[in-house]
Amino acid sequence: MKPRRDRTALLAAPMAAWMALFTALPLLYILVISFLQRDETWGVTDILTLDNYRRLLDPIYIKVFTGSIGLAARATLLSLAVGYPFAYAMARAKPKRRAALTLLVVIPFWTSSLMRVYGWMILLQANGPLNTLLLKLGIVELPAKLLYTQGAALLGMVYTLLPFMILPCHTAIERLDPRVTDAARDLGASPAKAFLTVTLPLTMPGIMSGCMLVFVPTMGLYYVYDLLGGGKGAILGRVIHDQMLSARNPPFGAALSVALIALTGAVVALQRRLGGRDIGFF
C-alpha cells in the first residue's frame, strides 16, 4: 500500500539499464556472432554456421584449452598452498596485527598489476639480482634462464592473484569459532586430526571462493603470461585477443569466448556445489 517503496526500487533502473546495455547485450551479441561466418575484412556476415565451434576441436585449440586449464589449476593449487597457511596465521594473530596484515595483503592488490609483474622481470632477468646471487653462491656457473619460462609465468599468476586466495580464506578462518577446534582437541583429536576434520571442512567455503577467484582470471590474464613467460605457448586469453585484434576474426573469437564463459560457469557451479555460498570478499 505504500507507494514510496516501489519508487525507491526505481533508483536501480539506471544501473540496470547500463548493465543490460553494456554487459548483457554485448554478451548476447557475441553468442550470436559465434554462430555466424566471418567477413573478409573485419566483421561478420549473416550466414549461420557451426564452423567456429568445429574449429575449437582442432588439436591446436584443444591444446590451448588443456594448457590454460592446466596452468590455472597449477596456479590455484600453488596459491592455496601458500595462501591458506598465511590466511590461517593471519586469522589467529592479535586483532591489531591482523588489521595491519590485512592491509599489507591488500596494498599490492591496489597497485598496478603491471608494476608487480615488472618487479619480477627485474628480479628474474639474466643479469638480475637473483642470478647474481645464484652465481655468487656458486649454485650456477652461468646465469640461469629464469625469465621467459613457464615457471616464471606460473609464478607471475600466483603472485598477481594471491590476495584473492588469502582474503576469502582469511574471512572463513576468522569466522570460525576457535572453540570448535578446542572442542575437537578436548574430545581426543590430535592437532592434525582436528584440523582435517573440523577446521578444513568448516573453512571450505572460503577455500572454494579463493580457488574460483584465482582459477577463473588465470585463463584470461595473458599479459602476465606474455611478460614473464615470453609469449611461448598460448593461453586462452591471448588467443581471444589475437583473434579479435590481429587475425580479425570476431566470430571465432566469440566462439572461444563462449567456450571460456562456459568453462567459467562450470567452475562457478562446481564451487557453489562444493562450497555453498559466496564468502564475503567485499
Partner 1 sequence: MRGRGRSAWRPVILTAVLVFLYLPLALVALYSFSESKVAGVMKGFTWDWYAKLTRDGAMGQALRTSLRVAGLSCLVSVPLATLGAIGLAARQSRKARFAKLAGGVRGLVEGVTVLPVMLPEVVLGMSLMAAFSMAGARFGIWTLVTAHTTFCVPYVYLIVKSRLAGLDPQLTEAARDLGAGPARAFWDVTLPLILPAIFSGTLLAVAMSFDDVIISMFVNGAQSTTLPLKIYSSLRAGVTPEINALCTIILGVVCLAVALSQLLRNDKKRGGKPDETDNV
118 binds partner 1 (CB under 8 A): yes
Please report, as residue ranges, which positions from 188 to 227 form the binding site for partner 1 (by CB under 8 A). 216-217, 219-223, 226-227
CA atoms within 13 A on the CB side of 14: 2
Among the listed residues 111, 145, 269, 274, the single contact to partner 1 using CB under 8 A: 111
276 binds partner 1 (CB under 8 A): no
The percent helix, strand, coil of the chain (3-state, each to 5) is: 75, 5, 20
We find the least distance from the C-beta atom of residue 150 to partner 1, in angstroms, to be 18
CA atoms within 13 A on the CB side of 204: 14
Among the listed residues 108, 150, 202, 270, the single contact to partner 1 using CB under 8 A: 108
DSSP string, 61-125: HHHHHHHHHHHHHHHHHHHHHHHHHHHHHHHTS-HHHHHHHHHHHHHHHHS-HHHHHHHHHHHHS
Among the listed residues 57, 103, 137, 187, the single contact to partner 1 using CB under 8 A: 103
Characterise 45 by phi-psi region: left (phi > 0), alpha (psi -120 to 50), beta (else).
beta
**Partner residues linked to 88 by β-bridges:** none
Work out whether the CA dihedral 148, 154, 155, 156 comes out positive or negative.
positive
168 binds partner 1 (CB under 8 A): no
The region of 52-60, 125-133, 135-143, 200-208 touching partner 1 under the rule CB under 8 A is 125-133
We find the least distance from the C-beta atom of residue 127 to partner 1, in angstroms, to be 6
187 binds partner 1 (CB under 8 A): no
175 binds partner 1 (CB under 8 A): yes
5 binds partner 1 (CB under 8 A): yes
43 binds partner 1 (CB under 8 A): yes
Please report, as residue ranges, which positions from 225 to 264 form the binding site for partner 1 (by CB under 8 A). 226-227, 236-237, 240-241, 244-245, 250, 253-254, 257, 260-261, 264
Between 54 and 277, CB nearer to partner 1? 277
Burial (CB < 10 A; 0-12, 13-18, 19+), residue 252, is buried
